[in-house]
A and B are shown apart, each in its own frame.
Chain A
């Protein structure tokens, strides 16, 4: 074990930009790709953390975006799953133009709020909308990597099957991880539920009863997060056990 929990960066050390080399790119869905970076000196991350990516043009213009880390905390490499924002400035470049072997700058990991640590023993409810699945997937992968038996339930709201992220990996299944898919626009024929936005009954039937005191992680667009977190509170979940992260089409 080259890395231990102690080495994981959670604030305290200096936050600095590091060069990261793109070593692989995988297709996840029509609009999303996973980028695999090799980052010498990466201090390791905790599932749910994110990082900043900085691109600098030859004329010195530079711009940065924040992305959640998709890979397990145990992974050597850093994987980002990026959704294309077609009129965006950074995502089309990362998805189409950045060549294998090219360098970008990464800073992080950052954020100690929206994280899951294997030491946590309470049941977990993950509620993801669209690309908001990414940091939740880091939690699922970390749980698998450490052989945790903490029961997880995942409710994934996605437009249609073509937009589903990590579909085959999730299909393979993890013991103790229950999955429910909420298709908002078009559902596959075998789906037990007509297409539509997430409802209180989706979250009560696929989630945990509030008296199990689960920690609920909700990630997606601002509209999705407001709605899903509001439904969880209405179902009786304590607001202090609901952790949210809002994703924007930051381009």
Chain B
């Protein structure tokens, strides 16, 4: 008997992230403010069961990014990331 972890990865959040940033974010890279690990957003742990999206660091599990949307507002918190490097739209 093993417990199934309840996270997916950043790929599963690709549509919502792209609708905010206007470009594919799964290949965007960021650095975790908690442990310094660098990763593409595709490699983050995505928790999607709640009212929004939470991406956590695969290394230290700190929260990297939160995105919550209502009918007319979107709230974005990227405070867990030192930076995001986003490929410029072509």
Evaluate contact between B14 and A66: CB separation under 8 angstroms: yes
Which A residues from 102 to 136 make CB contacts under 8 A with B? 107-108, 110-114
Which B residues from 1 to 42 make CB contacts under 8 A with A? 2, 4-12, 14-15, 18-19, 22-24, 26-27, 40, 42
Q: Which residues of B contact A223 (CB under 8 A)?
A: 2, 4-5
Q: Which residues of A contact B89 (CB under 8 A)?
A: 11-12
Which A residues from 69 to 126 make CB contacts under 8 A with B? 107-108, 110-114
Interface readout for A240-251 with B: 1 if CB under 8 Å, 0 if not? 000111111010
User: How far does the Cβ of B6 sit from chain A's closest Cβ, in whole Å?
Assistant: 8
Chain A residue with Cβ nearest B20: A15
Asked if B87 is at the interface (CB within 8 A of a chain A CB), the reply is yes
Asked if A204 is at the interface (CB within 8 A of a chain B CB), the reply is no
Asked if B62 is at the interface (CB within 8 A of a chain A CB), the reply is no
Q: Which residues of A contact B18 (CB under 8 A)?
A: 11, 15, 110
Asked if B90 is at the interface (CB within 8 A of a chain A CB), the reply is yes
Which A residues from 200 to 251 make CB contacts under 8 A with B? 221-223, 225-226, 243-248, 250
Q: Once A and B bind, how many residue pairs between them come within 8 Å at the CB atom?
A: 81
Bound CA–CA A244/B58 (angstroms): 12
Asked if A10 is at the interface (CB within 8 A of a chain B CB), the reply is yes
Give the size category of B's interface with A: 20 to 34
Q: Which residues of A contact B23 (CB under 8 A)?
A: 11-12
Bound CA–CA A222/B40 (angstroms): 17
Evaluate contact between B15 and A107: CB separation under 8 angstroms: yes
Bound CA–CA A248/B42 (angstroms): 15
Asked if A52 is at the interface (CB within 8 A of a chain B CB), the reply is yes
Q: Which residues of B contact A221 (CB under 8 A)?
A: 4
Bound CA–CA A225/B2 (angstroms): 14
Q: Which residues of A contact B26 (CB under 8 A)?
A: 110-114
Evaluate contact between B24 and A66: CB separation under 8 angstroms: no
User: How far does the Cβ of B17 sit from chain A's closest Cβ, in whole Å?
Assistant: 8
User: How far does the Cβ of A13 sit from chain B's closest Cβ, in whole Å?
Assistant: 8
Q: Which residues of A contact B24 (CB under 8 A)?
A: 10-11, 110-112
Choose from A10, A15, A111, A250 the contact partner of B11 (Cβ within 8 Å).
Answer: A111
Evaluate contact between B8 and A246: CB separation under 8 angstroms: yes
Evaluate contact between B15 and A222: CB separation under 8 angstroms: no
Choose from A107, A111, A222 the contact partner of B8 (Cβ within 8 Å).
Answer: A222
A-B pairs with the 8 shortest C-beta distances? A11-B24, A113-B42, A110-B14, A52-B15, A113-B26, A12-B89, A111-B14, A11-B23
Can you add 12 more A-B contacts, CB < 8 Å, to A108-B15, A114-B26?
A15-B22, A66-B11, A111-B14, A111-B24, A112-B24, A112-B27, A113-B26, A113-B42, A113-B43, A221-B4, A246-B7, A248-B6
In the complex, 18 of the A-B residue pairs with CB atoms within 8 angstroms, ordered by the A residue number, are A11-B18, A15-B15, A50-B14, A111-B14, A113-B26, A113-B27, A113-B40, A114-B26, A222-B5, A222-B7, A222-B8, A223-B2, A246-B7, A247-B8, A248-B12, A250-B8, A250-B12, A250-B48
